[in-house]
Structure 1
Amino acid sequence: MNEATPTALALGLLRGPGSTARTILGLAGPPGAGKSTLARHLVTEIDRAEGPGTAAYVPLDGFHLSAAQLDRLGLTHRKGAPATFDAHGYVALLQRIADDRFQDIYVPDFDRTLDEPVAARHVVHPQTRLVVTEGNYLASADTPWPDARRLLRELWYVHTDDTVREDRLLRRHRDGGRDEATARHWVTGNDHPNGEYVKAGRPFCTRTVSGADLPTGPERRTVL
């Protein structure tokens, strides 16, 4: 990129006006763009520069509905679509993160091995000044996503070419136990329409950053 790196931009949010306040930075983008990898990288780099606990990670994926709820709602085949998240619960957590500077705030995540959400994997400490949250739908115009967006200092769109995203998604699904045919069907029948929906929200984002050079899968830890 010709501009400052994402890490430098995130540090700028902490070192500029209002730097003593808690800042929430959002990352939006279609499936496989590299949002979670970038978010974890930013948290690691901010903590390295400013001290442990300065930054925290809050993934929307922690608000996936469980397999039991998806089955009850008849949405198992659309897992990852907007209706398969507890979006209002996510907004409520962001509001608490914005308001509460006195308690540890525990944050759920999604475990790809279990293929289920798990409670309290991450934590926002009272001293945390930058919260990096990421998810497909943060730039959506549909309710309740604008309520989440109002709590963000900035919202970045993570862009990666569709061919790169597709390769990442296929690898993700194969690593999760799907055979090649099933993985390709999931990408074309579910990930693709979800991604096209996400792209419509790009104009609502503060800036665009690249996710093309971020490793995904087991090797992604090398950038953290």
Structure 2
Amino acid sequence: MLVDDAVALVPSIPGRRAVLGLAGAPAAGKSTLARRLVSGVDARLGADTAAYVPMDGFHLSNAQLDRLGLRGRKGAPETFDVDGYVHLLRRLRDAPPERPVYVPDFDRRLEEPVAAGLVVLPQVRLVVTEGNYLADDGPGWEQVRALLDELWYVDTPRQVRERRLLRRHVRGGRSESEARAFIAASERPNARRVERGRDRANRIVVPGRQL
């Protein structure tokens, strides 16, 4: 089971935290799986053994996207602060765990990052991080893979993902036609790019079958 394998990572990295990454296309179920793994590890080994750190907290704000002319490409690799994400991974992985580390979250209702929305406490021994581009080899992103002790690719059929994306964007305020247009223009190309990194993962995970 996936929780068993996540638990096994905890004592396997002496002297520092272990970092497990979950990659996959938009709406593959990465955040749901990450939270379930954190809950499962904590249930086995005690509260605050694991912590959840989403890459989505490093979305550029809508104001910055507007400044850069990238609002219509939101979710593409260039719409994230990859250097900030890499710096955080290094800090969580290698720095002595003496104080809490506050990390950004992402509010899907606001469609904006939220500073210090989450915290990694000093006693945390496993960080579960997830995002589209953890297996990407583009500028900046190519540093991420080496900072992950394991990388799992969450593989969900396109039809399922796009149904989820449609619901997500409609709830976020787009009309159905606007949501479909955004999926075709942005989400689908992003998914194709994500899929190119599939072979860099240690394992392929099909949600619902292995937890």
Deviation (angstroms), 1:102: 1.0
The correspondence of residues 123-138 of structure 1 with structure 2, limited to 5 A, is: 123-138=119-134
Structure 2 residue 179 is matched with structure 1 residue 183: yes
1:81 maps to a residue whose letter is: A
Match of 1:57 in 2: 52
Match of 1:67 in 2: 62
Residue 18 and residue 92 in structure 1: after superposition, are their counterparts in 2 closer, same or farther (change >3 A)?
closer
Match of 1:85 in 2: 80
Deviation (angstroms), 1:18: 3.3
TM-score w.r.t. length of structure 1 = 0.90
TM-score w.r.t. length of structure 2 = 0.95
Per-residue CA deviations over 1:67-122 (Å, capped at 9, x if unaligned) read 11000000000000000000010000111101221111001011011111001111
Match of 1:173 in 2: 169
Match of 2:107 in 1: 111
Paired residues of 1:106 and 1:124 also in contact (CA < 8 A): yes
**Gaps in structure 1 of 5+ consecutive residues:** 215-222
Match of 1:163 in 2: 159
Per-residue CA deviations over 1:186-213 (Å, capped at 9, x if unaligned) read 1111100000000000011111101367
Structure 2 residue 35 is matched with structure 1 residue 40: yes
- Report runs of 4+ in structure 1 exceeding 2 Å deviation: 17-21, 211-214
Structure 2 residue 153 is matched with structure 1 residue 153: no
Give the alignment partner of residue 202 of structure 2, picking from 202, 206, 222.
Answer: 206
Partners of 2:9 and 2:42 lie apart in 1 by 14
SS at match of 1:195: helix
Structure 2 residue 4 is matched with structure 1 residue 8: yes
C-alpha RMSD of the superposition: 1.6
Paired residues of 1:57 and 1:133 also in contact (CA < 8 A): yes
Per-residue CA deviations over 1:47-84 (Å, capped at 9, x if unaligned) read 11111110001100000000110000000000000000
Partners of 1:195 and 1:123 lie apart in 2 by 29
Partners of 2:188 and 2:3 lie apart in 1 by 29
